[in-house]
């Protein structure tokens, strides 16, 4: 049976990259994506906002997708330093990450703010990747599934569909640490996310669920094979073309 949820491998470059090196990295990934000609998976890079336009230019015609790492909820106005979803779209982005744990922690983003950002993404014609995940303390207290449920209920806007929503499960303690949950733990979290989505999204079975947290070339195949995993959100390993492409190949 044909797979209905096309895997998405997304790279989050975070606050890394100056123009020359970033374009070289994007070109390395874009050339390989073009050569592979994948129709059974999607590959996305999310550079810093300053580079979205240049990376979109470098990726044009190759099949490599480009996204933002965050957006403001409003389309314009007196919000110094912020980036509207419309600006990302105008710069060539098709996707935007919202609610990354670093933003939830560093910038105090609540589920309500994340939901408003996801709605802003829709308004601008972008596909939001809504991030959720438990802290180590929450996991050790046995609260993982309850935390995921609360975050989903608060962060996923009403009216979301499989075509307008991607969810990334990123255990906070696995981000940038080299630690990962076991594949049964990933599968259990994703099964629960899918179950909760059933009450929030009409076609929940079609929503893509990405796993994120210390994914690299050597563990990608195992993590991507866990139940209900439809791709990966990759931080550190997305800054090296070979490593990121190894993950894309494993999808
Ligand atoms: C992330 O920041 O979304 C992430 C998953 O980072 P890393 O792959 O470095 O753990």
229: domain CATH number is 3.20.20.70
Distance from C-alpha of 66 to C-alpha of 199, rounded to nearest angstrom: 30
Distance from C-alpha of 69 to C-alpha of 45, rounded to nearest angstrom: 9
Q: Which residues pair with 210 in a beta bridge?
A: 168
Q: How many domains are contained in the chain? A: 1
Please check whether residue 3 lies inside any domain of the structure: no
- Provide the CA 215 distance to its chain's centre, in angstroms: 13
pLDDT computed for residue 130 by the predictor: 98
Distance from C-alpha of 214 to C-alpha of 243, rounded to nearest angstrom: 12
Please check whether residue 72 lies inside any domain of the structure: yes
Please check whether residue 2 lies inside any domain of the structure: no
Tens of each residue's pLDDT in the chain, 251 residues? 335 899 999 999 999 999 999 999 999 999 999 999 999 999 999 999 999 999 999 999 999 999 999 999 999 999 999 999 999 999 999 999 999 999 999 999 999 999 999 999 999 999 999 999 999 999 999 999 999 999 999 999 999 999 999 999 999 999 999 999 999 999 999 999 999 999 999 999 999 999 999 999 999 999 999 999 999 999 999 999 999 999 999 99
Please check whether residue 189 lies inside any domain of the structure: yes
- Provide the CA 200 distance to its chain's centre, in angstroms: 19
Nearest ligand 1 atom to the CA of 174 is 10
> Is 170 among the residues known to form the active site?
yes
> Is 72 among the residues known to form the active site?
no
Q: Is 235 in the pocket of ligand 1 (CB under 6 A)?
A: yes
Please check whether residue 1 lies inside any domain of the structure: no
Please name the residues in contact with 185: beta carbons below 8 A apart, sequence gap of 6 or more.
Answer: none
pLDDT computed for residue 2 by the predictor: 39
pLDDT computed for residue 217 by the predictor: 97
Give the N- to C-terminal CA distance of the chain in Å, as an integer. Answer: 17
Please name the residues in contact with 64: beta carbons below 8 A apart, sequence gap of 6 or more.
Answer: 26, 29, 30, 33, 34, 43, 44, 45
Please check whether residue 211 lies inside any domain of the structure: yes
Which residue range forms the structural domain that includes residue 96? 8-15+25-32+41-250
Please answer whether residues 237 and 247 qualify as being in contact, where contact means their C-beta atoms are separated by less than 8 angstroms: yes
Q: Is 11 in the pocket of ligand 1 (CB under 6 A)?
A: no
Which position among 100, 102, 134, 192 bears the catalytic label? 100
Please check whether residue 94 lies inside any domain of the structure: yes
Distance from C-alpha of 64 to C-alpha of 117, rounded to nearest angstrom: 24
pLDDT computed for residue 145 by the predictor: 98
Which position among 86, 134, 170, 243 bears the catalytic label? 170
Please check whether residue 103 lies inside any domain of the structure: yes
């Amino acid at each position: 049976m044909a797979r209905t949820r096309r895997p998405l491998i997304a790279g989050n470059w975070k606050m890394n990259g100056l123009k020359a090196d970033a374009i070289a990295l994007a070109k390395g990934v874009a050339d390989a994506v073009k050569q592979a000609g994948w129709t059974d998976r999607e590959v996305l890079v999310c550079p810093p906002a300053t580079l979205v336009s240049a990376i979109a230019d470098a990726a044009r015609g190759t099949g490599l997708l480009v996204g933002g790492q965050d957006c403001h909820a409003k389309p314009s106005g007196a919000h110094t330093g912020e980036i509207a979803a419309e600006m990302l779209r105008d710069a060539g982005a098709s996707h935007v990450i919202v609610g990354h744990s670093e933003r939830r922690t560093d910038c105090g983003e609540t589920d309500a703010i994340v939901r408003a950002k996801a709605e802003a993404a829709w308004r601008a014609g972008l596909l939001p990747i809504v991030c959720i995940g438990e802290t180590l303390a929450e996991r050790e207290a046995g609260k993982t599934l309850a935390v995921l449920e609360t975050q989903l209920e608060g962060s996923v806007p009403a009216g979301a569909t499989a075509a307008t929503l991607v969810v990334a499960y990123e255990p906070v303690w696995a981000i940038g640490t080299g630690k990962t949950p076991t594949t049964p733990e990933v599968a259990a979290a994703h099964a629960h996310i899918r179950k909760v989505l059933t009450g929030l999204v009409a076609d929940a079975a079609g929503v893509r669920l990405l796993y994120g947290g210390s994914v690299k070339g050597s563990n990608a195949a195992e993590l991507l094979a866990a139940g209900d995993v439809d791709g990966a959100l990759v931080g550190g390993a997305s800054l090296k073309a070979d490593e990121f492409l190894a993950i894309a190949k494993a999808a």
